[in-house]
Amino acid sequence: MNILLIHQYFLEEDDPGGSRWNEFTRVWTSMGHNVTVLGGMMHYNGKEKIAEYKGKYFVRKQQGAVTVWRCHVSEAYNKHFLGRLWGYFSFMFSSLYAGLFKAKGKFDVVIVTSPPLFVGASGYLISRLRRMPFVFEVRDLWPESAIDTGVLTNKMVIKLAYWVEGFIYNRAKLVNVLTPAFYKVLKDKKHIPESKLIQISNASDFSLSEKLLHDFNKEAFRKEHGLDGKFVITYVGAHGVANHLEQILDAGEALKDTNVLFLLIGQGMEKDRLKKLAEERRITNVRFIDSVPKAEVFKYILASEMGASVLKRVDTFKTVYSNKTFDYMSCKKPILMAIDGVSRELVETADAGSYIEPENTDDYNRVIRSYLKEPARLKREGDSGYKYAKENFDREVLAKKYIEHISSIVSR
């Protein structure tokens, strides 16, 4: 098949962060499919465009066997709410143009993964004008998550977002969701027919973790990065409003009499404020690290005692899986799961760590101290999570399952 994927956050080859779609497209091209991606020019945590995209609207690149068209995204993206909104719309328009006039050849299907939700409009128009089926993926329940976190408050924009959401769901031939909770919401509350719903979840990337599990010198890495003698808990991901990482600062303060060290790796709109707050409160056991390449991220995880998955305490986030949870599992690290709902159920079912009530400092304090007293749990829960992820969330297996569903609608 010839596949067109629209993904604003499709990563560069050496970008930090989750790489679910980078791995899916790699698997698909290895199976003989052709994949072209329309991706954005701004990383979701980046502050500005990288130099090669400055002053350009479209740049064609080759990432292995995958052809990638980088499309314009406004540099106001990470400056404020209106800038973020314009970043979404600017990519919607630029990806529409690229899908109609830049990506050459005949395609069998167009896949759109969201958020942002509005890019679904460009996917739908491309599918109609180029006469192919349209697949829509829901990585986050938007606009609900933006409303619950207070990011989206304008009533007109909210009304527009709900209208766009309903329009896209109704016109997609297939709707993929990442969690069982998303599936239930779309089926029961948004009345999407089960005949067009599938669930291909986030997954673990074992291709990198298994190599490092054999070759990585943990002791040397810890010594090089000043981690010796520390009980290291690593968080990898966005530093945004939705993550509410101030709860990690509170936990650090409560655990200042221990050898616990939190590493916060990534970028985001809240990072500068959090660093300043940590300095003002003289919290010395929370260390901020800028985004690093994926291989380096896995080294930090492997050098840690635990991985942390953290979001703000709102009901919408009870429906999500945290992408980094699966990386922690693939590295045999137990998880501090500060997300209720399906993410909590995942960790408890896999016996892969402990749930902490989001934003509850006493809970952080109690649970982490229990690991300090019983360090044998670390290996047992890490091994259990690895085994569960290998059996249920292997990225290569899920990529092949996904392409089977897509092939079925194309053949119709």
Q: Is 210 exposed, middle or buried (0-12, 13-18, 19+ CB in 10 A)?
A: middle
pLDDT at 148: 79
pLDDT at 291: 87
pLDDT at 215: 86
pLDDT at 294: 82
The highest-level CATH class for domain 206-392 is alpha beta
Residue 331 DSSP code:
T
pLDDT at 205: 77
pLDDT at 398: 93
Q: Which CATH number fits domain 2-203+394-411: 1.20.140.10, 3.20.20.100, 3.40.30.10, 3.40.50.2000?
A: 3.40.50.2000
- Which residue in the block uniquely carries the two structure tokens 């409009």? 121
Count the neighbouring beta carbons within 10 Å of the beta carbon of residue 220: 10
Which residues, given as ranges, of the chain have pLDDT below 70? 14-18, 44-47, 77-83
Q: What is the Cα–Cα distance from 217 to 355, expressed in whole angstroms? A: 30
Q: What is the Cα–Cα distance from 395 to 392, expressed in whole angstroms? A: 9
pLDDT at 261: 98
Cα-based distances in Å from 62 to 37, 93, 283, 292: 10, 22, 44, 22
Listing from the earlier edge strand, what are the strands of the sheet with 306-310? 286-289, 260-265, 231-236, 306-310, 335-338, 353-355
Tokens of 285: 């056991």
Q: Is the pTM of this model over 0.75?
A: yes
pLDDT at 78: 63
Listing from the earlier edge strand, what are the strands of the sheet with 66-71? 58-63, 66-71, 34-40, 2-7, 109-114, 134-138, 174-177, 197-199
Concatenating the DSSP letter of every residue in 215-280 gives: H--HHHHHHHTT-TT-EEEEEES--STTT-THHHHHHHHHTTTSSEEEEEE---TTHHHHHHHHHH
pLDDT at 236: 94
H helices within 98-150, ranges in order? 119-129, 144-148
pLDDT at 155: 86
Q: What is the Cα–Cα distance from 182 to 205, expressed in whole angstroms? A: 22
Q: Does 206-392 match 2-203+394-411 at the fold level? A: yes
pLDDT at 323: 83
- Which residue in the block uniquely carries the two structure tokens 């800038």? 83
- Which residue in the block uniquely carries the two structure tokens 């939700």? 117
Extended strands (E) in 72-199: 109-114, 134-138, 174-177, 197-199
Crossing angle (nearest 10°) for helices 342-350 and 323-330:
10
* 3-state secondary structure at position 383: helix
pLDDT at 140: 85
User: Domains of the chain: which residue ranges?
Assistant: 2-203+394-411, 206-392
